[in-house]
A and B are shown apart, each in its own frame.
Chain A
């Protein structure tokens, strides 16, 4: 005998101080934010409330570029392309969608951020990254 059902789980999560700044910047300014840790001398993307490496809270919010480098990519049939991209000015990578075809991408390629026309304070306000036609890389 089997019992089958599905469960709907409503939720609401606070983005927190750093997360709210990050999401507001995406929505209002089409701007990706990072956090610079002066102890580790490292800029993290996306913005954080504390450094994951040293635990410090004394982080400086920095504006990252809309250009990026492709660190790694995968193509999932039926689901699209995903990537680790390192935004200009950051030392770490973000996971996001790649916009284009598999053949368009190689590790180390230059990319640029694409933002949605209607934005609501969500990571998807940044639609993904596409090849940068202005770059020979």
Chain B
């Protein structure tokens, strides 16, 4: 393995419904922005990795339709489809391609146009025997885990609401975010309509149309093309048993995410994540998950997550800002969502995050989450 780094990122303007562009055009929007950010041309790209949940839009082999939009014509191109981790796993795949010496410059693009399909049908088309017949969907599954989490750790609805308020306030500084509201209040969140007890509308991520891209380069090319690359210091992915009832209290334990984080921490010498990380972009599909994963990611001890959000530790000006971009709660084009986490973490290191830049960010964590079955973690840094 040789070092590899992210030298450019690009995102579309994510929204509820991007009827103004086709799927290939949406992808091209993100790809063009990433190539411009990296200051390279399409001819410089050796290989392309795509992330998309094809059943969400109800068409197979999306790469046959969108490949040209991704500049994949006559180049090696593969697709990753692992739910919410599609984006982070595609970034890890691109990292492996550049770090292994297989390719020098890899373009990774994730996208989803939820408005063009039926996401919950895609979600329900998993296990045909035990899940589909009693399908509660992604939302019901979250709610079941959250009920356990609240009962076990004493997390309150108000603490969860604080996560949504932080997210929307941060998103107001992010030109790409789908949902932004600098003035959102805890009361707004707690009075929004119930989707699945105890989860309310503003606790939950939206379904967005959008695409995001990053350019990964081998050490030699990164040094040549970029004055301050965002080096990928470590990456890990974990999978486990997918039947929902098998793991007790899975939102609390989320052992795939815990194991992936511990693996990348160990390889980068991180013993105190809260102190040693400068910024984190985590895949939080629902407010309660962000709190649960403060604990899983080692930002605090078990049962301390509520205090962390109440004390403002994870706010923009706090000790460890979590999701300065507004996170998944404010933009969720699923196949792109993991790429956005990595792109936002990289932009912080590249010092190109604009109004939501964290001053002096040198070490960043990005995570991915895919229906409990997958988890990804990446550490980015300002040195190889």
The CA-CA distance from A84 to B129 in the complex, in Å, is 16
Are B58 and A72 neighbours in the complex by a CB distance under 8 Å?
A: no
Which residues of B have CB within 8 Å of A46? 130
Across the two chains, which residue of chain B brings its CB closest to A4? Answer: B116
Are B129 and A13 neighbours in the complex by a CB distance under 8 Å?
A: yes
Interface magnitude class on chain A: 35 or more
Which residues of A have CB within 8 Å of B147? 72-74, 107
Task: Give residues of chain A (8-64) contacting chain B, Cβ–Cβ below 8 Å.
Answer: 11, 13, 15, 19, 23, 44-46, 52-53
The CA-CA distance from A84 to B198 in the complex, in Å, is 15
Q: Is B128 an interface residue (CB 8 A)?
A: yes
Across the two chains, which residue of chain B brings its CB closest to A91? Answer: B248
Are A92 and B197 neighbours in the complex by a CB distance under 8 Å?
A: no
The CA-CA distance from A73 to B19 in the complex, in Å, is 38
**A72-B144, A102-B197 in contact; A122/B245 too (CB < 8 A)?**
no
Q: Is B244 an interface residue (CB 8 A)?
A: yes
What 1/0 mask marks residues of chain B from 128 to 164 whose CB sits below 8 Å from any chain A CB? 1111011010011101110110010000000000000
Contact of A82 among B129, B134, B194, B241 (CB under 8 A): B134
> Can you name 21 A-B pairs with beta carbons within 8 Å?
A2-B19, A19-B129, A53-B241, A53-B246, A72-B145, A73-B147, A74-B136, A74-B147, A75-B194, A75-B196, A77-B193, A77-B194, A82-B134, A82-B136, A82-B143, A83-B144, A84-B144, A84-B244, A92-B245, A92-B247, A93-B245
Please name 14 further chain A to chain B contacts, defined as beta carbons within 8 Å, in addition to the given A52-B242, A76-B197, A82-B140, sorted by A numbering: A11-B128, A52-B240, A71-B248, A72-B145, A74-B136, A74-B140, A76-B196, A82-B134, A82-B136, A84-B244, A84-B245, A86-B245, A92-B246, A95-B134
Q: Which residues of B line the A interface, CB within 8 A? A: 19, 58, 128-131, 133-134, 136, 139-141, 143-145, 147-148, 151, 193-199, 240-248
